[in-house]
Structure 1
């Protein structure tokens, strides 16, 4: 136990260094639609259990950019959406660590700090705006505007699924010319996604419009996850709407593991997802 405090301090230092060394893009130039609080930096909670950096009280949504080396850059990009039950954002476990992995594969990654706590509708505004900003900057960043996807975990998977199925719904008033750009992702990767089965009798959540020409999706879940049913329901609905979908459902893994070693699910989903993105994104 005597090493716990120094280790936590080290983790906080590493996360702070990441944030300082990477470009930050703030989503809203003026007033933030639906936000009543003043703009300020996110608040880091005191809870660092599991060696996880948790952010909350987000009023000035932003993206942290992870650029790949030019030698491996493949022209595709993903917006990474950390989970946290719409209460917090697991920023390193399901954000920066995932973005670093993606950048090593050649993808330009953007870690989204969407609004929490308890702001599900506003989180969708932030996701929609983020997608439009990335697409508007595609040419200057060497990104193919037709190869921009989302990768979400848990509640972040919910945000990613919502923008993938509701991209043509005018959810917030237009702020500037950026809002005239499509926010439809070109592909979606949903890892232990949650809130997909909130319809009657745990059927598909009504706001997920799977007949609205969603992009191809990759889903991963486990049988021992309380939210595991969500992935099954969404996969079945996508299949019924003839949307290309690939589902991997493992017996064990639980929930909230990111891609850290030591959990069988955490070690295998990146392998499956990398292969799927090669086939559905890079070779398309």
Structure 2
């Protein structure tokens, strides 16, 4: 759908640093994320994130739905595929009327810090929703691969206090209004490939949309998560296609990338009212 988008067309407005002071649990000095030397497949990969930020992509005024989506790129919790699963997704969602916040969460291998970043991002966006003409109760979370793992963790652990409050934003709920998991990974680390134990799904877990394929080595993650949501009577929509693999984003030439955006667009119309 959107292969080879130039960064010049990304309608990014501002960069918001999540932690004005010390970053909780972070020992490295704050600095801008590093771009790795690997630019294969036209993917910009970030690493060494020690100063987490959200990059804001406002919806056009003419079709602003009043809903916001915080997007978590994937990369195995080692890197962030920032254009493939961040900026390109933001451009597409903007066209549908959603304001997007691309999250640069901590990597590499800082899963606990990443959850702190996700919780803080939700609260900050909610606290400043009026700036982007958003409704605070319509802030959702979307992720790809490891970013989908982070989305699932944030959606099921929103009542866990992972850091000490630093301002008024932290008095707000960290529960996303909805969760979107596209080719999720790491959700089946339980015994016999069952649901990862930290994912405590219950009736208060937000509604979710899941998309994965049978030829994805991580495909079981979507199946076990969807099953847990169904068992808890949480509204869930699962699409499981035959082919597509992993890591395709929105890019043309992949059978899965050709179908999931339309399915998600329809789902959002019902989920975000």
Shorter chain as normaliser: what TM range?
A: over 0.9
Q: Distance in 2 between matches of 1:259 and 1:71?
A: 24
| Aligned residue number for residue 51 of structure 1 | 42
Q: Give the TM-score of the pair, scaled to structure 2.
A: 0.96
Partner residue, 2:76? 85
Q: In 2, distance between residues paired with 1:228 and 1:21?
A: 32
Structure number with greater CO (CA < 8 Å, separation at least 6) is 2
Aligned to 1:42: 33
Query: What's the counterpart of residue 261 of structure 2?
Result: 270
Look up the match of 1:165.
156
1:92 CA displacement: 0.3
Deviation at 1:140, TM superposition (A): 2.4
Is residue 165–residue 212 contact of structure 1 (8 Å, CA) maintained in 2? no
Match of 2:191 among 200, 203, 211: 200
Contact 1:66 1:109 survives alignment (8 Å):
yes
**Residue 172 (structure 2) pairs with residue 181 (structure 1):** yes
- Pairwise mapping of residues 214-233 of structure 1 onto structure 2 (< 5 A)? 214-233=205-224
Query: Does the 8 Å contact 1:161/1:208 carry over to 2?
Result: yes
Q: Which runs of 5+ in 1 are unaligned?
A: 1-9
Distance 2:211 2:97 in 1: 22
Q: Residue 266 of structure 1 aligns to a residue in which SS? A: coil
* Shift of residue 21, structure 1, vs aligned partner: 5.0
Counterparts in 2 of 1:212 and 1:126: CA distance versus 1, 3 Å: farther
Counterpart pick for 2:59 among 49, 68, 82: 68
Cross-structure match for 1:4 = none
Aligned to 1:121: 112
Aligned equivalents of 1:208 and 1:132: distance in 2? 20
**SS of 1:219's equivalent?**
strand
The answer to whether the 8 Å contact 2:250/2:258 transfers is yes
**How far apart in 2 are the matches of 1:32 and 1:123?**
11
3-state DSSP of counterpart to 1:32: coil
State the Cα RMSD in Å.
1.4
- How far residue 212 of structure 1 moved from its aligned partner, in angstroms, is 5.8
Distance in 2 between residues matched to 1:85 and 1:184, nearest whole Å: 23
1:34-71, Cα deviation, whole Å (9 max, x unpaired): 10000000000000111100000000000110011100
Provide, for residues 125-149 of structure 1, a one-character-per-residue CA deviation record: whole Å limited to 9, x for no partner. 0000000000001122210111110
Give deviations 1:56-90, integer Å, cap 9, x for gaps: 00000001100111001110110000000000000
CA distance in 1: counterparts of 2:193 and 2:96, whole angstroms: 37
Higher helix share: 1
Specify every segment of 5 or more residues in structure 2 that has no aligned partner in the other structure, as ranges.
none
When residues 245 and 252 of structure 1 are mapped into structure 2, their CA distance, relative to the original with a 3 A threshold, is: same
Provide the TM-score with structure 1 as the length reference.
Answer: 0.92
Q: Name the SS of the counterpart of 1:71 in structure 2.
A: helix
